């Protein structure tokens, strides 16, 4: 016992001496495996690392982005194996503790952005960044933050708008308690931020952030500011401004570029295109559909990042087996190698199958073949799986190697956004042409109007004219579909058509809920949104269909409860 008593004093004594010793100069060497905050922002490469770091964090939003925007809307539904949280979203009955309906991951990204932006300011002040370098990086992160805020607004309505960097983790806990601003006020703030950005174009090709890393070119990894601003204007019903900024984006390639973001049609001789096409002279044969990973409409979601890929994609982020985070979509969607929690809704399948292709086939191949393929008798959301499953038999190439992409924005989204703005800005026929058979169908193939409605789709040999839009075939034209019919009020009818076409073209890309919500808000018509969700539930014999419809007829129920966890 006495020996023990002695130890009682020896141990603290030793500890104390160790503490004192640590103050000694001799051991006060900076640890080599830890980066101290004061050393984090020293030069432009540190700034680049910060940007990449923010995007790395941002990728954790892939799951909530797709789940919230698709499961709450009409084109995606839960399977029997879906978890309780997904079912709650599907039936618009979100309970406390729902993992997907949590604003915190969004704010984690926002706080990262705020911190990085504040440090960029310091770097500029300390002359560690050139003005031009600062402009690009600061604008990028500010735009990304605005994009995340827009998503928060769409899902939660009123949210706290925080732009200051927070220093401690306790501050993070307090975000949930901060005052919230209504959605419209948030939109105004975001537009103000975006309009005030020093730089609105993508990173210049010479920027150190545009490089090839791990086999990917980084140029399309970053949020597109023009596209975001265009969407923000659409949310605020500022149609002319939306059309103007989107027109700039649509003409990214400049005069003489006939392909980039121009939505061109099928290349019938070799089928090297992004269109729904058939082997030449055999269009009437179902088996001759171009259905592989390197040609045709499907290849958009499967092909390598080549020139053709760049013609369509504006923004995407890759998931790769070699680095984190793991592709969450395989687990959500695949019934081979995944958990198959979500599937295309019956309503979506019915909508595709109600279309008629130009070869008179009574369906839209984008639906039952490319986007919602039937595997083992189950409809599967395919867009995210073409790099995971093999191209013909649709079995996993390697069950554990989950390669894929998070698709965020592409030319078709851009054209549909522009059409939405043009339609409301008294250019209905132009909007109709863009959505249906393209700009070559407008009278005289040229609008003869000023910006942003100046389109030239002429093509002639004598006199030699090649309008920039002469190869445009429209969204439905590219999908080999006949045009939509317009009934009643043309503006409303065309808008209906745009939303419907956005569903067919962009299904499961995480746009559906925001499209439905935006138009329902604009029209002040809850039924526009409620009926579509109702249709989805009814066609799957969900007993809560009417209850959900009644709930969505009240605008307050369009937003998720803001529960901080």
Partner 1 sequence: MRSTTKYILLVVFIAVTGTWSCKKWDEHNTVGQQALNENLLEQINKNASLSKFSEYLTKTGLDKVLSSSKNYTVFAPVNEALAALPADVVSDTAKLKAVLQNMIASQQFFTRNAMDSIRVAMLNGKRVFFYNKKFDDANIKDADIAVRNGVLHIIDKVITPLPNVWDYVVTSASTYTQNGYISSLNFLQQDRTKAVLDSINPITGDSVFKPNTGMVVVNTFKTKVYDIAAEDSLYTYIVLTNPGFNSEVDRQRPYFQSSKTDIVTNNSSWNVVKDLAISGLYTPSQLPSALLSKFGVHVPINQAKIVETRKVSNGIVYVLSEAACDMAEKIPSFKVEGEYPSRFASTADKYLTKIFYRNRLNTLTGLNFKDIYMNLGSSGANYYVDYLTNQLYTGKYKVYWVAFSDKTISGQGDDPYGTDSTLQQILQIGDYSFSPVYTPVFNKQMAVTPRVYSEVYLGDYTNASYDYPLSAPPATDRSDTASMKRIRLLAPATATTGVPLNLTLDYLKFVPSF
Shortest spacing between CB 362 and partner 1, in angstroms: 4
Among residues 260, 440, 266, 433, the alpha carbon closest in space to that of 357 is found at: 266
CA contacts within 13 A on the Cβ side of 361: 24
Instruction: Select 288 or 492, whichever has its Cβ closest to partner 1.
Output: 288
Instruction: Select 275 or 389, whichever has its Cβ closest to partner 1.
Output: 275
Which residues lie closer than 8 Å to 296 by C-beta, 6 or more apart? 266, 271, 273, 274, 275, 276, 277, 289, 290
Instruction: Select 277 or 497, whichever has its Cβ closest to partner 1.
Output: 277
Instruction: Select 248 or 267, whichever has its Cβ closest to partner 1.
Output: 267
b/e per residue 417-431 (b: at least 16 CB within 10 A): bbbbbbbbbebbbbb
Shortest spacing between CB 173 and partner 1, in angstroms: 40
Helix (H, G, I), strand (E, B) or coil at 103: coil
The DSSP output letter for 267 is: -
- What count of other Cβ atoms lies within 10 Å of the Cβ of residue 527? 13
Instruction: Select 78 or 472, whichever has its Cβ closest to partner 1.
Output: 472
Q: How far apart are the first and last CA of the chain?
A: 50
Helix (H) or strand (E) holding 500: helix 490-506
Instruction: Select 28 or 360, whichever has its Cβ closest to partner 1.
Output: 360
Shortest spacing between CB 14 and partner 1, in angstroms: 30
With tokens 């069950």, the residue in question is: 399
Q: Give the separation between CA 1 and CA 24, rounded to whole angstroms.
A: 36
Shortest spacing between CB 539 and partner 1, in angstroms: 16
Shortest spacing between CB 435 and partner 1, in angstroms: 17
Angle at 512 between CA 507 and CA 513, to 5 degrees: 155
Shortest spacing between CB 285 and partner 1, in angstroms: 4
Instruction: Select 285 or 304, whichever has its Cβ closest to partner 1.
Output: 285
Shortest spacing between CB 237 and partner 1, in angstroms: 36
Q: What are the CB-based long-range contacts (under 8 Å, 24+) for 366-370?
A: 366/276, 366/297, 366/479, 366/504, 366/505, 367/504, 367/507, 369/289, 369/291, 369/298, 370/276, 370/291, 370/297, 370/298, 370/301
Instruction: Select 28 or 270, whichever has its Cβ closest to partner 1.
Output: 270
Instruction: Select 42 or 280, whichever has its Cβ closest to partner 1.
Output: 280
Among residues 434, 283, 433, 272, the alpha carbon closest in space to that of 365 is found at: 283
Helix (H, G, I), strand (E, B) or coil at 8: helix
User: Are the C-beta atoms of residues 187 and 154 closer than 8 Å to each other?
Assistant: no
Which residues lie closer than 8 Å to 39 by C-beta, 6 or more apart? none
Structure tokens at 486: 């317009």
Q: Give the separation between CA 70 and CA 51, rounded to whole angstroms.
A: 28
b/e per residue 192-219 (b: at least 16 CB within 10 A): ebbeebebbebbeeebebbeeeeebebb
With tokens 């729902």, the residue in question is: 98
Shortest spacing between CB 353 and partner 1, in angstroms: 7
Shortest spacing between CB 377 and partner 1, in angstroms: 18
Shortest spacing between CB 272 and partner 1, in angstroms: 14
Which backbone phi and psi does 559 adopt, to 5 degrees?
-105, 150
> For binding to partner 1 (CB under 8 A), which residues are involved?
266, 268, 277-278, 280-287, 353, 356-363, 480
Instruction: Select 132 or 284, whichever has its Cβ closest to partner 1.
Output: 284
Instruction: Select 280 or 544, whichever has its Cβ closest to partner 1.
Output: 280
Shortest spacing between CB 481 and partner 1, in angstroms: 9
């Amino acid at each position: 016992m006495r020996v023990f008593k002695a130890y009682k004093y020896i141990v603290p004594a030793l500890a104390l001496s160790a503490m004192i010793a640590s103050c000694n100069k001799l051991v006060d060497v900076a640890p080599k495996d830890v980066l101290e905050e004061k050393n984090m922002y020293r030069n432009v490469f540190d700034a680049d690392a910060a940007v990449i770091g923010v995007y790395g964090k941002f990728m954790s939003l892939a799951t909530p982005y797709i789940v919230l925007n698709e499961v709450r809307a009409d084109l995606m539904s839960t399977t029997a194996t879906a978890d309780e949280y997904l079912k709650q979203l599907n039936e618009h009955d979100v309970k406390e503790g729902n993992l997907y309906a949590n604003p915190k991951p969004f704010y984690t990204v926002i706080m990262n952005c705020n911190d990085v932006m504040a440090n960029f300011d310091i770097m500029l002040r300390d002359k560690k960044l050139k003005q031009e370098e600062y402009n690009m990086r600061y604008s990028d992160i500010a735009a990304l933050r605005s994009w995340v805020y827009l998503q928060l607004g769409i899902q939660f309505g009123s949210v706290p708008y925080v732009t200051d960097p927070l220093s401690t983790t306790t501050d993070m806990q307090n975000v949930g308690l901060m005052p919230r601003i209504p959605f419209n006020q948030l939109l105004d703030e975001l537009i103000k931020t975006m309009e005030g950005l020093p730089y609105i174009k993508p990173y210049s090709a010479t920027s150190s952030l545009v490089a090839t890393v791990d086999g990917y070119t980084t140029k399309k990894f970053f949020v597109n500011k023009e596209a975001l601003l265009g969407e923000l204007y659409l949310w605020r019903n500022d149609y002319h401004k939306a059309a103007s900024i989107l027109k700039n984006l649509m003409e990214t390639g400049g005069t003489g570029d006939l392909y980039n973001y121009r939505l061109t049609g099928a290349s019938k001789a070799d089928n090297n295109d992004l269109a729904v096409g058939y082997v030449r002279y055999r269009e009437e044969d179902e088996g001759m559909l171009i259905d592989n990973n390197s040609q045709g409409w499907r290849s958009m979601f499967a092909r390598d990042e080549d020139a053709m890929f760049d013609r369509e994609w504006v923004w995407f982020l890759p998931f790769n087996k070699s680095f984190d985070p793991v592709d969450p979509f395989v687990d959500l969607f695949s019934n081979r190698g995944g958990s198959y929690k979500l599937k295309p809704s019956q309503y979506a399948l019915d909508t595709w199958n109600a279309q008629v292709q130009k070869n008179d086939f009574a369906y839209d191949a984008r639906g039952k073949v490319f986007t919602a393929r039937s595997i083992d008798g189950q409809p599967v959301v395919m867009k995210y799986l073409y790099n995971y499953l093999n191209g013909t038999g649709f079995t996993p190439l390697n069950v554990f190697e989950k390669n894929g992409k998070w698709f965020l924005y592409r030319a078709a989204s851009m054209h549909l956004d522009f059409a939405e703005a043009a339609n409301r800005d008294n250019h209905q026929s132009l909007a109709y042409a863009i959505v249906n058979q393209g700009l070559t169908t407008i009278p005289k193939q040229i609008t003869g109007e000023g910006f942003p409605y100046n389109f030239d789709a002429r093509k002639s040999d004598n006199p030699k004219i090649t309008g920039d839009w002469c190869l445009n075939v429209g969204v439905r034209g590219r999908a080999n579909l006949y045009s939509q019919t317009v009934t009643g009020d043309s503006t409303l009818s065309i808008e209906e058509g745009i939303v419907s076409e956005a569903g067919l073209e962009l299904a499961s890309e995480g746009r559906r809920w925001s499209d439905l919500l935006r138009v329902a808000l604009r029209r002040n018509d809850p039924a526009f949104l409620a009926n579509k969700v109702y249709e989805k539930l009814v066609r799957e014999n969900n007993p809560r269909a009417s209850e959900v419809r009644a709930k969505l007829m009240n605008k307050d129920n369009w937003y998720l409860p803001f529960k901080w966890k």
